[in-house]
Amino acid sequence: MSEPGDNLRRLTGLYSTMARIRAFEETALEAHKAGEIPGPLHVSIGQEAVAAGICVNLRIDDRITSNHRGHGHAIAKGADPKRMMAELYGRANGYCRGKGGSMHIADFSVGMLGANGVVAGGIPIAVGAAQGLKMQGSDAIATCMFGDGAINRGPFLEGLNWAVLYKLPVLFVCEDNGVAAFTRSESVTAGPGVVDRARALGVKAITVDGNNVMSVDDAAQSAVAAVRRGDGPHLLHVRTYRITGHTSTDAAAWRPAEEVQEARSRDPIARLGAVLCERGVPATDLGKMLDEAKAEMTAARKDANAAAWPEASVAYEDVQDTGAVAWSK
């Protein structure tokens, strides 16, 4: 059993992680509006408890696959926001040398096997990573972050079936923000949903309040331990809410204002803040964490905006070893 002090430290850490994710994405949104960041930008404001609560339970050698709304997953897994921001800006010092952008951030050095521009695209990859790890005799696990829209794609059925068949060390996390792009998921999803679908295949699955980071942390702690000890795949259905639109340019104005307001009242950062205050953490300490997060990301923005673009020759690198460049220019 952990001591109360350890628990408080863990919660404070979660608060800091969520604050950093929020600050990263708010800063990126501002930069996008200012015309500094090109391309589409999918932010996860309001969903930070999912990334933080899951990834705090993962080791650096555990792998994750993410999706198009993956900044939080990367930060929580230990990626460097400076290199992430540089990638959003398309600069040479970005994680992908400016070739991926927001939708393709990866940091293999911390087990982050990549965001993905295709819904459900990360599911087969995570399953295969788990299979590889099992073959290698490792006790590392793979975690797969996907949205509620993904459960209507074929790879969801295939991947869960597969993970059960080979009893793979994979944790599926359905980060359910209730909306697939511009459409309410419930209006396009038959049956009772992801948990029932998973259980029908023999995957142990539960639903968790994804706006309460302590609930996510508790559920993930149990699930990760079970997956790591060889119990086979587990699924967490983590219910949350996407405060902002599908992309940076989408206001999602079709949603009733009261609905968004209600969701804001369940903001995961404010909720954990209230808990920490109750447990005696001074409000000034929390404010300091928020300020530090904002300062970190503002500095990342400033650095990224000043960073060099990749040389044109970089466009021809990292294609393939054989037959890459000679005849393609």
Judged by the rule CB under 8 A, the positions of this chain that interact with another protein are 63, 65, 94-100, 104, 106-108, 113-114, 116-118, 121, 123-136, 142, 154-155, 158-159, 161-162, 165-166, 317-323, 326-328
**Tokens 């950062």 label which residue?**
269
Query: In terms of CB distance, is 64 or 272 closer to another protein?
Result: 64
* Residues making up the chain, counted from first to last: 329
Sole residue written with tokens 């009733």: 256
Q: Which residues pair with 173 in a beta bridge?
A: 145, 236
Q: Which of 40, 15, 11, 329 is nearest to 181 (CA)?
A: 40
Least CB distance from residue 121 to another protein, whole Å?
Answer: 6
Check: CB of residue 176 under 8 Å from CB of residue 239.
Answer: yes
State the nearest-atom distance from the C-beta of 35 to another protein, in Å.
23
Residue 22 or 82 with smaller CB distance to another protein = 82
What is the closest distance, in whole angstroms, from the C-beta atom of residue 68 to another protein in the complex?
A: 12
**Nearest approach, Cβ of residue 292 and another protein (Å):** 29
Distance in Å, CB of 81 to another protein, minimum: 17
Burial group, residue 59, by CB count within 10 angstroms (0-12, 13-18, 19+):
exposed
Q: Which is nearer to another protein, 163 or 276 (CB)?
A: 163
Identity of the residue, 21 or 129, whose beta carbon is nearer to another protein in the bound complex? 129
C-beta of 26 vs 158, nearer to another protein? 158
Indicate the residue among 40 and 178 with the shorter CB distance to another protein: 40
Determine the Cα–Cα distance for residues 122 and 126; give it in Å rounded to an integer: 6
User: b vs e for 139-169, b when ≥16 Cβ sit within 10 Å of the residue's Cβ?
Assistant: ebbbbbbbbbbbbbbebbbebbebbbebebb
Shortest distance in whole angstroms from residue 315 CB to another protein: 9
Summarize the chain as % helix, strand, coil (round to 5): 50, 10, 40
| Smallest separation (angstroms) from another protein to the CB of 319 | 6
- Per the CB < 8 A criterion, the answer to whether 27 and 301 are in contact is yes
Residue 117 CB, shortest distance to another protein, in Å, is 7
In sequence order, what DSSP letters do the residues of 19-88 get, joined into one string?
Answer: HHHHHHHHHHHHHHHTT-S-S-----TT-HHHHHHHHTT--TTSEEE--SS-HHHHHHHT--HHHHHHHH
Least Å distance between CB 113 and another protein? 5
Question: Which CB, 19 or 227, lies closer to another protein?
Answer: 227
Answer whether 55's CB lies under 8 Å from 77's CB. yes
Spatial separation of the C-alpha atoms in residues 234 and 199, rounded to whole Å: 10
